[in-house]
Amino acid sequence: MKTEKTNTNIKEKTIDASGRTLGRVASETAISLLGKNRVTFERNVYSGAPVRVVNASKLRITPAKLAEIYHTRYSGIPGGLRILSGTETRDTKGLKELIRLATYQMLPGNKLRREMMKNLKIED
């Protein structure tokens, strides 16, 4: 028996990233997307609110931390593993992508992760 999604009376949460570190913004975003701060939290149903992160370009992150962060991509063919540092990701796709990847890694790896990520909007 499937339950129907009800997103009535759910307000969008806005998070200001100016002057804050990457991990603090990503963890607050992940908790809101999960819905763990709501009374109606259910682990098997998406019960979180849509989240909008503003001022992503004003995120506070040091060059040493950027060099320490890395992300992997795998194309599916032998030898197709790409390891990108945080500096490369920032230069090619910007700080918005770093916030998106950090939030993605903080969410549980189940069927609801894609649905939660659809409700994340990141603005400069």
Out of 3.40.190.10, 3.90.1180.10, 3.40.50.920, 3.40.50.1260, the CATH code matching 13-61+94-122 is 3.90.1180.10
Tokens (6 digits) for 90: 């920032």
Q: How confident is the model over 72-116, as pLDDT tens digits? A: 999 999 999 999 999 999 999 999 999 999 999 999 999 999 999
pLDDT grade, residue 10 (50/70/90)? confident
The Cα–Cα gap between 46 and 12 comes to: 14
* pLDDT score of 33: 96
Q: Please state, as a whole number, how many other Cβ atoms lie within 10 Å of the Cβ of residue 33.
A: 26
pLDDT at 8 exceeding the cut of 90: no
The Cα–Cα gap between 55 and 14 comes to: 11
* pLDDT score of 113: 97
* pLDDT score of 16: 98
The Cα–Cα gap between 59 and 19 comes to: 5
Q: Please state, as a whole number, how many other Cβ atoms lie within 10 Å of the Cβ of residue 101.
A: 18
The Cα–Cα gap between 122 and 14 comes to: 10
Q: How confident is the model over 11-45, as pLDDT tens digits? A: 999 999 999 999 999 999 999 999 999 999 999 99
Higher pLDDT, 9 or 24: 24
The Cα–Cα gap between 12 and 48 comes to: 10
Helix axes 86-93, 95-106, angle to 10 degrees: 120
Q: Where are the domains of the chain?
A: 13-61+94-122
